[in-house]
Structures are given as structure tokens and as C-alpha cells.
Structure 1
Amino acid sequence: MSPEENKALVRRFIDAYNTRNLDLFDDLVAPDYIDHTHRQEGREPFKTLFSLAFEGFPDWHEHIEDMIAEGDRVWVCVRATGTHSGEWHVSGVSLPPTGRRVVMRMVFIWCIKDGRLAEGWEVDSEVNFLKTIGVIEYTEIGKRIFPEDAAA
């Protein structure tokens, strides 16, 4: 596939994600998909990850800000927003809703083979995300070093 076709595939994937159309994942994601970030393999575990995220953040939305494609790779930068208004299950822990709104930038790198997402990596500010929903807090020293972040 050409770089433009690969970019179109990624746009379709993000649109399917944003519209909660996980059935489209069967067309867009390889059955043996490798998720390097979450250390899992297979399309079904990948779909489960999204289902759990939608429970905790039902209004989660990703807006594409930039996309670069070369060869079989696509890099995409998104601005993600969502409200922690549902139970969120992560690493065997269930976090009750906080009502807090999350805004973050994320970069995804996908390898495309045979017209489907075959491998993926995610880079984001997970620490800020977890701080926003109250999972972690700054220490007293951290509050002095980053007063504007600690107050948020």
C-alpha cells in the first residue's frame, strides 16, 4: 500500500474508534496484531482494551493533529479528550468515576501489513493523565517545583 493509503487506513481506524464501531476493527486490524505498549498480542485483546476505556471515558475522542507516513509506517499525533464518568478498569484495579476531564496529546506509530494495522506503539503523558484523574499526586517537593501543575 502507498503511504497515502496507509494514512487513509489510520483515519478509518481512528474514526471507528471515535464512533465506537469496534466491528470495523475486524477489517482494519490484523488478527495477530502486536500491541507493544500494552504488551499484548491479538485483535481481540486490543478490542477489549478499547471497550474498557469506553466504560471509564464514554465521551473519549481523538482528534488527528498531524500524520506522517513512510513505507509501511504511519505516525499520528492526536489530541485526546474525555471525562472520567464511568468505572475504569486498569491493571486489575477498578477506579470509580471522578468526573474529571482529561486532555492529552498522544502519538501512535503503526506498522501496516496486508492492508491492516499489524503492530502499534503509543507515546503519551500517562503521568499527567493519572494525576488528572487523581490516581497519583505530587509530593511536597513536586508541588514546589511544579506549582502550576500541582494546582491543576
Structure 2
Amino acid sequence: MTPEQNKTLVHRFIDAYNARDLDVFDDLVAPDYIDHTHHQQGREPFRQLFTLAFDAFPDWHEAIEDMIAEGDRVWVWVTATGTHTGEWNLFGVPLPPTGRKVIMSMVFIWRIADGRLAEGWEVDSEVDFLRAIGVLAYTEKGMAIFPEDEGD
């Protein structure tokens, strides 16, 4: 596939994700998909992550800000937004809904093989995410350094 075809594939995947169309996994994700971020392999465990996210953040949406493709790789930067209205399992600990809004930048890197996502990496700030849902808070010193974030 050409880099442009790979970009189209990733765009289709993110559009399907935003539409909650998990049936698209069969067409767009390789059965032996490798998720380097969550240390798992297989299309079904990857699909399960999306199901859990939709339960905890039903309005989660990823807006594509930029996309670069070269060879068999696609880098995509998204702005993700969502509201924590369902239970989120954090490292095996259930976190009840907080009603808090999350806005974060994320970068995904995908390797494409045989017209499907074959491997993936995710780069984001887990600290910002955990702060947004109220799991982490700045210390007094942190609030002095970042005063505009005191209300979070």
C-alpha cells in the first residue's frame, strides 16, 4: 500500500472508532495485532480496550489534527475529549464515574501490513489524564508553579 492508502486506512479506523463501529476491527485490524502500549497481542484484546473506554467515556471523540505517513508507518496526532461518566478500571482498581471532562493530545503510530493495522504505539500524558479525572492532584508547590490549573 502507498503512504496515502495507509493514511486513508487510519482515517477510516478513527472515524469508525468515533462512530462506535467495532465491527470495522475485522476489516482494518490484523488478527495478530500487536499493541505495544498495553503489552498485548491480538485483535480481540485491542477491541476490548475500546469497549471498556466507551463504557467509561461514552462521549469520547478523537479529532485528527495531523497525520504523516511514510513507508508502512502512519503517525497521527489527535485531540481527544470525553466525560468520565462510567466506571474506569485503573490498574485493576475500579474508579467510579467522576463526571469530569478530559481533553488531551495523543499521538498514535501504526504499522500497516497487508492493508490492516498490524502494530501500534500510543504516546500521551497519563499524568494529565489522571489529573483530569481527579486521581492525581498537584502538591502545594505544584499549584504555586501552575496556578491556572488550581481549579482542576
Aligned residue number for residue 79 of structure 2: 79
- The unaligned stretches of length 5 or more in structure 1 are none
Residue 149 of structure 1 deviates from its aligned partner by 2.2
What amino acid maps onto 1:82 in structure 2? G
Aligned residue number for residue 108 of structure 1: 108
Aligned residue number for residue 118 of structure 1: 118
Deviations 1:41-96 (A, max 9, x none): 11110000110000100000001010000000000001111000111123211111
Distance 2:44 2:69 in 1: 26
Aligned residue number for residue 51 of structure 2: 51
Q: TM-score, normalised by structure 2?
A: 0.97
Distance 1:21 1:107 in 2: 21
Secondary structure at 1:15 match in 2: helix
Distance 2:149 2:109 in 1: 28
Count of residues paired in the alignment: 152
Distance 1:124 1:143 in 2: 22
- Cα root mean square deviation, aligned: 0.9
- The 4+ residue runs of structure 1 with deviation greater than 6 A are none
Distance 2:126 2:83 in 1: 15
1:41 corresponds to 2:41: yes
What amino acid maps onto 2:77 in structure 1? C
Distance 2:121 2:150 in 1: 29
Counting aligned pairs with the same residue, the percent is 75
Residue 150 of structure 1 deviates from its aligned partner by 3.2
Residue 3 of structure 1 deviates from its aligned partner by 0.4
Aligned residue number for residue 143 of structure 1: 143
